[in-house]
């Protein structure tokens, strides 16, 4: 139904101070008018006169209406972890990990052939200061196949029963780009790092079979929508999941827009062929959603995570304490996952096919490899619309000033995981030293080069809360209250531009989303206060953002979540 909104602050996001008195949507899910209340009412009457079904008037009662938020990188399918797996966030030690797994198992008995999964443990917060190993899980769970995932998503720990289930023993060799942890006797410890090592194990062991993606889709979308998000992503669609997303769309189970990026390591041509009409090019001439779904590009993994010491650095990590057993060599830099030659082949093929490329790059050496290889592939390509492909460097935790300076030449967009400042800033100080850690998520560098940077949640790694990401960009405070480089802070306007206008541009959807203008989709979020209310004091402005609450989320004119 067509709706006229008034009685609050309407932030159009077309300019820092741009507001409107009223906004009118039509009954097709688009914005019909933005401007004065008098003209909006005239337009509403005209709509009714030409056959409209009526127009309801909504009093915002002082709330703030703005464009729906756009998550520029997350893992829709992975969000199922938050519903099906034992949450180990905040565990203080190995004993608490064991206790939570046992409690979860008691409340959720495994079906025949099931595997117990836990997620979100963080060795940086454990009293032991190290990752658990298979013996810790063996002592707690015995013969129950069990796997737990590190909060970064780049490390898993398996118990002995699971190793037997998937057929791994001491003779197993790690695939290229993956890590198999071993003890002093060369036996597997149950530690596995990086996608090439992790994915075969997870695909073999699967999550508990009693719930499918279709069973979880409504709850996952409500999680996104409760944070004002109207467009999200499956940022590394694993083998076998493309067909599950198509089934969701065919069954009309999607109510917010989802863009899938099949991950490297599978036959990408076959994936795009299999999804048929849901394949949508990375250029503006081909972008479209069908039943709120599209396959918009491909995902590369270039390195791991800095909090798990897997990011690929040009300078070494700080040495671990001598009390911590580690396989790290002296001067450990982390490592890349894919060779220059293999990456170039993937990029050449992606440009030929017109696929947008998203590349996971945390360390500065990973950023260098992707930027160098994409630049070479870009200049070698004769594709006429390659300018519009807008490749994305995802995470950018240690991307350097000189690397931001080179991105615009190939139309590359940095999508910055700025929530790292709060969640792992303290771990980065330990792993990198204060000088390097202080520059993580260097958002102001991206702003200085006029790059259309975006923020993302990487959910389920952290909750899908883009307002919190904006606050992190404004404050750069760690959990322990340490202030990271204040020169990299930005203001509220630039922070919210990153999750609306810039994010739509990253997807190539700026013509239909991101600002409140006539003709665009009525993708809206209603907040309990004005996000950009004037304040000369940056601390006060940040506190105001931190206190914001989402009241309602509207997708194409239809309410999809309300508080």
24: CATH: 2.30.40.10
Residue 51's pLDDT is 58
Domain boundary among 156, 172, 205: 205
In this structure, the strands spanning 524-527 and 55-59 are unpaired
Q: Alpha helix locations (H) across 230-363?
A: 241-250, 268-274, 340-353
The distance from CA 247 to its chain's CA centroid, rounded to whole angstroms, is 23
**Domain assignment of residue 126, yes or no:** yes
pLDDT in tens, the chain (563 residues): 899 999 999 999 999 999 999 999 999 999 999 999 999 999 998 887 655 578 899 999 999 999 999 999 999 998 987 788 899 988 999 999 999 999 999 988 888 778 899 988 988 889 988 899 999 999 999 999 999 988 888 889 999 999 998 889 888 988 888 889 898 888 999 999 888 888 888 877 664 444 678 889 999 999 999 999 999 999 999 998 999 999 999 999 999 999 999 999 999 999 999 999 999 865 555 678 999 999 999 999 999 999 989 999 999 999 987 655 567 888 999 999 999 999 999 999 999 999 999 999 999 999 999 999 999 999 999 998 899 999 999 999 999 999 999 999 999 999 999 999 999 999 999 999 999 999 999 999 999 999 999 999 999 999 999 999 999 999 999 999 999 999 999 999 999 999 999 999 999 999 999 999 999 999 999 999 998 887 667 888 999 999 999 999 999 999 999 99
Q: Tell whether 35 and 125 lie within a shared domain.
A: no
**Domain assignment of residue 351, yes or no:** yes
**Domain assignment of residue 235, yes or no:** no
Q: Tell whether 309 and 380 lie within a shared domain.
A: yes
Q: Tell whether 33 and 133 lie within a shared domain.
A: no
Closest CA to 118 of 97, 134, 133: 97
**Domain assignment of residue 230, yes or no:** no
- Which CATH number goes with the domain that contains 468? 3.20.20.140
Range of the domain at 23: 2-68+520-540+550-562
Q: Tell whether 437 and 408 lie within a shared domain.
A: yes
**Domain assignment of residue 59, yes or no:** yes
Count of positions (residues) in the chain = 563
Domain boundary among 141, 175, 205: 205
Q: Any residues with CB less than 8 A from the CB of 115 and at least 6 apart, and which?
A: 145, 146, 147, 162, 165, 205, 206, 207, 208
**Domain assignment of residue 239, yes or no:** no
Angle of helix 213-225 relative to helix 241-250, nearest 10 degrees, comes to 70
Residue 443's pLDDT is 98
Q: Tell whether 468 and 319 lie within a shared domain.
A: yes
Closest CA to 244 of 231, 254, 230, 232: 254
Gap between the Cα atoms of 204 and 162, Å rounded: 10
Q: Tell whether 533 and 438 lie within a shared domain.
A: no
Domain boundary among 151, 176, 205: 205
Q: Tell whether 323 and 428 lie within a shared domain.
A: yes
**Domain assignment of residue 164, yes or no:** yes
Q: Tell whether 408 and 472 lie within a shared domain.
A: yes
Q: Tell whether 338 and 401 lie within a shared domain.
A: yes
**Domain assignment of residue 182, yes or no:** yes
Q: Tell whether 37 and 119 lie within a shared domain.
A: no
- Which CATH number goes with the domain that contains 106? 3.10.310.70
Q: Any residues with CB less than 8 A from the CB of 384 and at least 6 apart, and which?
A: none
Tokens of 292: 């709120």
Q: Tell whether 175 and 51 lie within a shared domain.
A: no
Neighbours of 534 (CB within 10 A): 9
Q: Tell whether 399 and 482 lie within a shared domain.
A: yes
Residue 101's pLDDT is 94
Number of domains, the chain: 3
């Amino acid at each position: 139904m067509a709706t006229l909104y008034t009685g609050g602050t309407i932030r159009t996001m077309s300019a820092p101070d741009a507001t409107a008195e009223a906004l009118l949507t039509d009954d097709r899910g688009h914005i019909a008018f933005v401007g004065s209340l008098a003209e909006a009412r005239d337009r509403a009457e005209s709509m009714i006169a030409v056959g409209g079904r009526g127009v309801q008037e909504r009093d915002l009662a002082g709330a703030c209406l703005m464009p729906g938020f756009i998550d520029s990188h997350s893992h829709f399918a992975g969000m199922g972890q938050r519903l099906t797996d034992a949450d180990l966030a905040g565990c203080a030690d190995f004993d608490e990990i064991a206790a939570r797994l046992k409690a979860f198992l008691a409340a959720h008995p495994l079906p025949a052939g099931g595997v117990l999964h836990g997620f979100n443990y963080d060795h940086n917060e454990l009293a032991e200061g190290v990752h658990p190993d298979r013996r810790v899980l063996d002592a707690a769970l015995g013969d129950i196949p069990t796997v737990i995932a590190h909060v970064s998503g780049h490390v898993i720990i398996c118990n002995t029963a699971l190793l037997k289930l998937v057929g791994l023993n001491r003779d197993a060799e790690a695939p290229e780009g993956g890590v198999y942890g071993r003890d002093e006797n060369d036996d597997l410890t149950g530690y596995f790092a990086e996608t090439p090592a992790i994915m075969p194990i997870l695909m073999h062991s699967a999550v508990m079979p009693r719930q499918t993606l279709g069973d979880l889709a409504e709850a996952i979308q409500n999680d996104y929508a409760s944070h004002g998000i109207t467009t999200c992503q499956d940022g590394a669609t694993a083998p076998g999941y493309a067909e599950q997303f198509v089934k969701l769309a065919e069954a009309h189970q999607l109510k917010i827009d989802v863009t899938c990026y099949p991950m490297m390591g599978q036959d990408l041509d076959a994936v795009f062929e299999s999804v048929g009409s849901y394949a949508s090019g990375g250029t503006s001439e081909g972008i479209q959603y069908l039943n709120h779904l599209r396959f918009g590009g491909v995902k590369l993994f270039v390195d791991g995570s800095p909090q798990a010491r897997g990011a690929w650095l040009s300078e070494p990590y700080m040495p671990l304490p001598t009390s911590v057993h580690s396989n790290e060599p002296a001067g450990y830099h982390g490592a890349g996952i894919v060779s220059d030659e293999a990456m170039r082949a993937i990029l050449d093929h992606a440009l030929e096919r017109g696929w947008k490329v998203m590349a996971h790059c945390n360390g500065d050496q990973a950023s260098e490899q992707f930027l160098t290889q994409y630049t070479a592939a870009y200049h070698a390509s004769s594709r006429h619309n390659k300018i519009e492909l807008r490749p994305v460097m995802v995470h950018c935790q240690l991307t350097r000033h000189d690397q931001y300076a080179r991105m615009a030449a190939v139309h590359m967009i940095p999508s910055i995981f700025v929530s790292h400042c709060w969640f792992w800033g303290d771990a980065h100080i330990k792993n990198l030293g204060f000088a390097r850690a202080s520059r993580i998520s260097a958002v102001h560098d991206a702003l200085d080069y006029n790059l259309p940077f975006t923020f993302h949640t990487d959910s389920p790694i952290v909750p899908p809360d883009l307002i919190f990401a904006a606050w992190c960009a404004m404050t750069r405070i760690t959990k322990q209250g340490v202030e990271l480089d204040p020169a990299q802070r930005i203001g509220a306007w630039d922070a919210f531009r990153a999750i609306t206008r810039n994010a739509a541009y990253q997807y190539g959807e700026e013509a239909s989303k991101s600002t409140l203008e006539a003709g665009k989709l009525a993708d809206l979020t209603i907040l309990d206060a004005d996000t950009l209310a004037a304040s000369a004091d940056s601390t006060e402005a940040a506190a105001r953002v931190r206190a914001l609450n989402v009241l309602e989320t509207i997708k194409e004119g239809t309410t999809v979540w309300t508080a």
